[in-house]
Amino acid sequence: MEKMVKKGKYFVKYLLISFFAVSISTGAHADVKFGFMIGYTGDYAAWAPPLDNAAKLAVEEINNAGGVNGENVELVIEDNLSTIEGSVKGARKLIDVHNVPVIVGPESDPLVAIIQMARDNKVPVVTSSAGTQAIDKEGGTGKYIYRVNASDSFLGVAYAKVMLETLGKSKVGLFVENLEGTMSAGDTFTRNFSRFGGEVVKTVTLTPGANSYYNELAEMDKSGVDTVLIAAGQTTGVTLFKQMYSRGYDWTVCVTTDLQTDDFVAGAGNEATQGVFALVPGQVESEESWQRFSGLYESKFGEKPVSGYYQAETYDAIMVTALAMQASGGLTGEGVDKNMMNIATPGGTMVRSFADGVKELAAGNDIDYHGASGNINYNEFGNAGAPAIRLLKVDSGEWVVSEVIDSGAFPPS
């Protein structure tokens, strides 16, 4: 089984980012600013280092290729604190103070909170990790919202298929934290699990940040299930697992991607998390675009990127945004919005790098960007899918890949 990369080891150096914005540029000056806003602190902090690296790698490549329409790109960073309030404040600063034409990165709850702000200011928001089904039909041309990663609607199909066909579980219980992103994950799993012949016997809602979940655990125990899916954030997830272990509940446990981090395993404890499953969208690592990205990433940061950790999606989110702006001939968010759907859909010349995309556009050709995360074929609402699913399992305190599943034939949600 393949070991997963550690994500927590660079965390300390990102703490100060919550207090101020940081500008990153690889050129002598920067004439177009890309806002980059993710949770450097809070529940999403464990994901921040690899996403930050991927974004910087993309900007460096773009500037080395001559920039967007001849202008260098500056990455202006804001910490959304992994909260709605932090996202609104961060986006307001990026738009009003830094005058960014685009914002890349925000996760589910932070993204939903700024949809109207994005539209009012004509600033496209391109997410690389927000799964919430709340934006399944909120994006696309004229709506200023785009998603490079897979929706929870797609992941709900994947979880349901894997639970039934790979793990052989037809009756399960569901713990779901009362937050936008986690409720979305729970809802789409329930819908698709029932659709494919499974039964969610019991659903127990978790209050965010509670000190005790003993009553909720007892309620689930009474249902008689032997398998549970947990859709929760880091803080709630750690508390729930510690108390689940202390009471000796012996369920087969799957968790959604919010808990698929090394910080969660460390916080809840190796024994409490042993054997826990998770499912993440991933890439086909034999594909040329992934191998290209992986080589560039390893050369710059001294470690390989890991499929399923949204590094490839973050890199591609910067790339498609830059190529859409390049195609517009200008440097505005409106230009990005008008061209985004055409950059990464079938029909044009396939390109795998920013430089190749610029070359084809200059020749008057349409392009079809095939990125590190796969073929970013947007649907009419600005959503992409995933070419593969990875089944992960905690073994002696480490997340490992136990199986890679081709998700190309999975039915739509």
Note whether 137 and 162 are same-domain residues: no
| In the predicted structure, residue 406 carries a pLDDT above the cut 80 | no
Note whether 275 and 399 are same-domain residues: yes
Domain holding 106, by residue range, is 2-150+284-384
pLDDT score recorded for residue 99: 98
Q: What is the pTM of this model?
A: 0.73
Measured CA to CA, the distance from residue 230 to residue 401 in angstroms comes to 19
Measured CA to CA, the distance from residue 386 to residue 407 in angstroms comes to 7
Instruction: Give 93-146 pLDDT, tens digit per residue.
Output: 999 999 999 999 999 999 999 999 999 999 999 999 998 889 999 999 999 999
Note whether 35 and 73 are same-domain residues: yes
Instruction: Give 301-335 pLDDT, tens digit per residue.
Output: 999 998 878 999 999 999 999 999 999 999 999 99
Instruction: Give 341-357 pLDDT, tens digit per residue.
Output: 999 888 899 999 999 99
Helices (H), 200-304: 214-222, 234-246, 262-268, 270-273, 288-301
Is there a domain that residue 44 lies in?
Answer: yes
Crossing angle for the helix pair 333-343 and 311-328, to the nearest 10 degrees: 110
Is there a domain that residue 413 lies in?
Answer: no
Note whether 72 and 135 are same-domain residues: yes
Note whether 296 and 218 are same-domain residues: no
The residue among 19, 131, 116, 94 whose CA lies nearest residue 384 is 131
Note whether 136 and 100 are same-domain residues: yes
The residue among 333, 338, 327, 332 whose CA lies nearest residue 364 is 327
The residue among 141, 129, 143, 135 whose CA lies nearest residue 113 is 135
The residue count for the chain: 413
Most confident region among 103-107, 148-152, 406-410 by mean pLDDT? 103-107
Measured CA to CA, the distance from residue 216 to residue 220 in angstroms comes to 6
pLDDT confidence of 412, banded at 50, 70, 90?
A: low
Is there a domain that residue 273 lies in?
Answer: yes
Q: Count how many domains the chain has.
A: 2
Note whether 133 and 34 are same-domain residues: yes
pLDDT confidence of 24, banded at 50, 70, 90?
A: very low
CATH number, domain of 65, equals: 3.40.50.2300
Note whether 323 and 199 are same-domain residues: no
